[in-house]
Structure 1
Amino acid sequence: MRKIVDGSVRNKERTKEKLLAVVGDIIREEGHTGLGVNKVAKIAGVSKKLIYKYFGSMDELLNTYLRKRDFWIGMEGIILHDMEDTVRTEEDYMQHLAEISLVKLFEHLDGFKEAQKILLWQVSEKNPLLQQLNYEREVLGETMFKLSDPLFSNSDVDLRANYGILLAGVYYLTLHENAAVGSFCGIDLKTEAGKKRIAKSLKQLIGLSYQQAVNTAK
């Protein structure tokens, strides 16, 4: 009896992962407008009843996909292992966290074409699922900024504004690259050399913000 139950659980999880993968495939190839319960079920080769059984609704299937694939929701597991050998002080930690989160986001968006389509979806129309996800990203961001606020409170450097501009730049450069409309400021973002230049500058600009905060502290 236990083997039958275990097999049923494994089949359920495989079917759920297949459905999530199909959602990603459709977003990558057609954008969010191609999504629909009948289409997802057909491509996955399962009954659409399983979508309702396992997820409750098409919206919840999409919500599960967005959360499993979102960079910021899974940020801790993505970046913390890269910080173990580089952090010596609390200030080092805060600066490196700001630097590596931008660089890793740039790499994530570059290698994850579905994320580019989701980003375009988010800036082109309102969607309750994406709005909620954005709110949760802001909550995570607030946690990170609060760590740095004391260092910047006595200087004329606005880390939040600087970070926001850099973050917006990462998002736009990603969309620009995906549109295949040529280089940007003479940098070919489709080449490894171009990508390395952007990553290097992101780190430098965050580093300059921290350095200036120390130099201009009142």
Structure 2
Amino acid sequence: MTDKHQSRKKYQGEKNNKERTMGKLIAAVGKVLKEKGYPGLTIANISKEAGVDRKLIGLYFGNLDKLVETYIRGKDYWLSATMNAVEYFGNAPEVGSRGFLESLLLNQLEDFLSNTEMQKILAWQICEESVIMSEISQEREKMSALFFAFADKELQGKDLDLRAVVTILVAGIYYIVLHSVHTKSTVCEIDISTPEGMNRIKTSIKNILGWAYNSVEEPAG
């Protein structure tokens, strides 16, 4: 084997090892977060969970904050969903902003209910001051503006405060899921841990969006 081939093989091996180690560290953040909450996100805990030298966090990510940020960006439903929506908006789909919102909110409800790590992240976001979470939230707001710019054109001249409607729906999804998970109890006698309860909430989300959009539709002539 030539020196060139040996060099290439060594480089590829080092690259694969680095990627595997980075993957272990990112996964370890989620496991520590799930088991210990945000106070447990320390270099010692994460490196122990990943089974790697703690020095590799600094070598591969720069610092602990960057590692945690990398993990959160990969888990944040709204960030990934909004990024994927750019092409959707550009194609001006027939279902419009209402169809997109309905799909986004219903998927968020299901994903958030099943995603323990995201529940921990949101609790961290709203209970503790954090530079990382502040920056992520600000970025999410900028990306959400892509959707609202699209919706504004569609609803131009119509008296519908879509931002307020979506705010209430998003806040409701967050609250009912966290309440159900943390207290193991119902909200207004609805148990979203059951198929019947989940369907009632989904139906109401669709109805609320329908009422909002129908309130500004032109009456049939």
Helix, strand or coil at the partner of 1:47: coil
Residue number in structure 1 paired with 2:192: 189
Helix, strand or coil at the partner of 1:72: helix
Q: Is the contact made by 1:73 and 1:137 (CA closer than 8 Å) also made in structure 2?
A: yes
Give, in angstroms, the shift of residue 25 of structure 1. 0.6
Q: 2:118 aligns with which of 115, 118, 122?
A: 115
Q: 2:170 aligns with which of 167, 170, 173?
A: 167
Please list, as runs of the form range in 1=range in 2, the aligned pairs for 1:41-60 lying within 5 A after superposition: 41-60=47-66
**What is the RMSD computed on CA atoms of the aligned residues?**
2.2
1:203 counterpart = 2:203: no
Identity among equivalent positions (%) equals 36
Higher relative contact order (CA 8 A, sep 6+): 1
Residue number in structure 2 paired with 1:75: 81
Which deviates the most, 189-198 or 21-30?
A: 189-198
Residue number in structure 2 paired with 1:5: 11
> TM-score, normalised to structure 2's length?
0.87
Q: Unpaired segments of 5 or more residues in structure 1?
A: none
Distance change >3 Å, CA 89–CA 20, structure 1 → 2: closer
Distance 2:216 2:144 in 1: 20
> TM-score, normalised to structure 1's length?
0.89
Distance 1:195 1:79 in 2: 25
Q: Is the contact made by 2:106 and 2:202 (CA closer than 8 Å) also made in structure 1?
A: yes
- Give the counterpart letter for 1:137 in structure 2: R
User: What is the total number of aligned residue pairs between the two structures?
Assistant: 211
Give, in angstroms, the shift of residue 26 of structure 1. 0.9
Distance change >3 Å, CA 93–CA 200, structure 1 → 2: same
String of CA shifts for 1:173-206, please: whole Å, max 9, x gaps. Answer: 1111111341112211111221222122212211
Q: Unpaired segments of 5 or more residues in structure 2?
A: 1-5
Distance 2:182 2:55 in 1: 37
Distance 1:105 1:80 in 2: 18
Q: Is the contact made by 1:71 and 1:105 (CA closer than 8 Å) also made in structure 2?
A: yes
1:65 counterpart = 2:68: no
- Give the counterpart letter for 1:27 in structure 2: L
Residue number in structure 1 paired with 2:161: 158
Distance 1:11 1:32 in 2: 28
Distance 2:168 2:92 in 1: 26
